[in-house]
């Protein structure tokens, strides 16, 4: 079945540091890939997505590229801010008519000033 393996946290970085959160997946067919962010006490918000190979999703300075050859969708940001502190989830949705999302375990990110 579908699965998502995500870099375990927690991750603590200083402000303005470079961020990478690794995500790899296993899926049949050609899934869509997502990164969701969960701020403290809130639900999940879509951060970015990519629907086909080599697509790059980007939002709020975050980027992730859909790499079919390595089955990866790593999240990156060049200069993190304190406000980026949250839990980040990598997820996929199979395109075989199954609408449900399969999530990774989440990575808690803390940015210190």
Taking the least distance from each CB to other proteins, the nearer of 49 and 74 is: 49
Rg (CA), the chain: 14
37-96 binders of other proteins (CB under 8 A):
41-46, 49, 89
Q: Which is nearer to other proteins, 1 or 29 (CB)?
A: 1
* Residue 106 makes contact with other proteins by CB under 8 A: yes
Cβ contacts of residue 30 below 8 Å, gap of 6+?
Answer: 52, 53, 68, 95
Task: Of 81, 63, 77, 70, give the one whose Cα is nearest residue 16.
Answer: 81
Residues in contact with other proteins by the rule CB under 8 A: 36, 41-46, 49, 89, 99-106
């Amino acid at each position: 079945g579908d699965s998502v393996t995500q870099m375990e946290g927690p991750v603590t970085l200083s402000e303005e540091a470079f961020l990478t959160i690794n995500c790899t997946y296993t899926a049949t067919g050609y899934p869509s890939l997502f990164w969701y962010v969960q701020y403290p006490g809130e639900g999940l918000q879509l951060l970015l997505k990519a629907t086909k190979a080599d697509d790059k999703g980007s939002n709020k300075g975050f980027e992730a590229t859909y790499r079919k050859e390595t089955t990866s969708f790593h999240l990156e940001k060049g200069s993190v801010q304190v406000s980026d502190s949250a839990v980040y989830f990598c997820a996929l949705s199979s395109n075989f008519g199954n609408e449900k999302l399969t999530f990774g375990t989440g990575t808690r990110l803390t940015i210190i000033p």
